[in-house]
Amino acid sequence: MRAPGVGRGIILLFTLCCIAAGCSREKGPLRIGLAGPLTSPVGAPMRLAARMAVEEINRTGGVRGRPLALIERDDFDSQDSAVKVAANLYRTDVVAVIGHVSSGTTLAAAPVYNGGATPVVEIAPSASSPELTGAGDYTFRLSPSDAKHGATLAEWALGRLRTARAAVLYLNNDYGRGVREAFTEKYTALGGEVLMTSPYLDSPLVVGPYLDRLVADGRANLLVIAGNRTDAVEIIRQARARRLTLPVVGGDGLEGIEADGPAAEGVFLTAAYLPDEDSPKAREFLTAWKRRFPAAGNPNQPAAATYDAVYLLRQVLETGGPRRGAVRDGIARLGNATPGFEGVTGTIRFDPRGDRVDAHLVVGRVRNGHVEPAEHP
């Protein structure tokens, strides 16, 4: 037989342990998911920026005394992997997920984050597909859509470059078609003429016949490449070999092209962030980045947007707490019921469909291996 009072002692001990465990959870780290191609040239800076933001926040006391912690998952820019990563992060105790990077992986993961009994916020730093608009109540994006990139290119080409006859080569996927459609619509509405729109696949890349047609026609004074960096470099090389010296413009798919040598010189591209931008937040971020990662080169747009996302989440967690629904509501109220968040990439506020309102976008030009704001053509 048990001695009298032993049962009550066990119950009391159990209760005290439960209380202690609860207190421990309340003081433990607040976890944020980070998902993307974290080992790729595009995604690696995103990881560094997230780590830097978390380090800075934790040095100043975290959030209500609780540190932030990252749960990092590499999706290898694969839609199948993105779905698996999303399912894995959903099952953890993350308060939100920053990711994914490309439009395809972000769209593939969105139903996972928005589903189930406890949906979790997905903040996409750089996904630009128009299809992401309204992907779910818990999905938000920090970059402009392809439609804005295409329209901005059209306005720049006509208003600043004074080119009135364009040829468009576009990667035959969601991104390329989106930029092509927006550019063509805006360019023609403003009085320009699109002489040719030609699709291509990037494996293998076959554009020679299109370039030969341009040479034979001789009327185009602008070449638009609605594709990726590697495609653009090869297209430019083939164009120059045919003595086509048209100005070349492209969207944010050309990010990083400045590292590709002479072929990239003079190329114009749209960007939601450039390291040379002159704002207090941008200067502070770049200074901190170079101090923390002196060998990493300049941060890219996914890095700057990810840095903003971590600090945005800190603000939301400070005011509304870590419950997933409260995090979502706090983000949705930015710029509506509450002031917008002032970040490296500008003021952040969202419309009811999760798109960023008045998303910052500039045109850059490659000069001597760097991209700088293209103030003058």
Question: Mean pLDDT of all residues in the chain?
Answer: 91
Q: How confident is the model at residue 101 (pLDDT cuts 50, 70, 90)?
A: very high
Percent of the residues in the chain that have a pLDDT greater than 90, as a whole number = 81
User: What would the pLDDT profile of 158-203 be if each residue is shown by its tens digit?
Assistant: 999 999 999 999 999 888 998 999 999 999 999 999 999 999 998 8
Torsion-angle region of residue 91: left (phi > 0), alpha (psi -120 to 50) or beta? alpha
Q: How confident is the model at residue 115 (pLDDT cuts 50, 70, 90)?
A: very high
Cβ 158 vs Cβ 191: under 8 Å: yes
- Which residue is it, tokens 């003429």? 193
Please give the order of strands across the beta sheet that includes 248-250: 193-200, 165-171, 222-226, 248-250, 268-271, 362-367, 370-373
- Which residues are bridge partners to 140 per DSSP? 123
| Per-residue confidence (pLDDT) for residue 13, from 0 to 100 | 43
| Per-residue confidence (pLDDT) for residue 271, from 0 to 100 | 92
Q: What average pLDDT score do residues 53-69 get?
A: 98
Q: Determine the Cα–Cα distance for residues 158 and 154; give it in Å rounded to an integer.
A: 6
Asked if pLDDT for residue 358 goes beyond 90, the answer is no
Spell out the domains of the chain, with CATH numbers in brackets. 25-144+277-360 (3.40.50.2300), 147-271 (3.40.50.2300)
User: What would the pLDDT profile of 285-339 be if each residue is shown by its tens digit?
Assistant: 999 999 999 999 999 999 999 999 999 999 999 999 999 999 999 999 998 889 9
pTM reported for the whole predicted model: 0.86
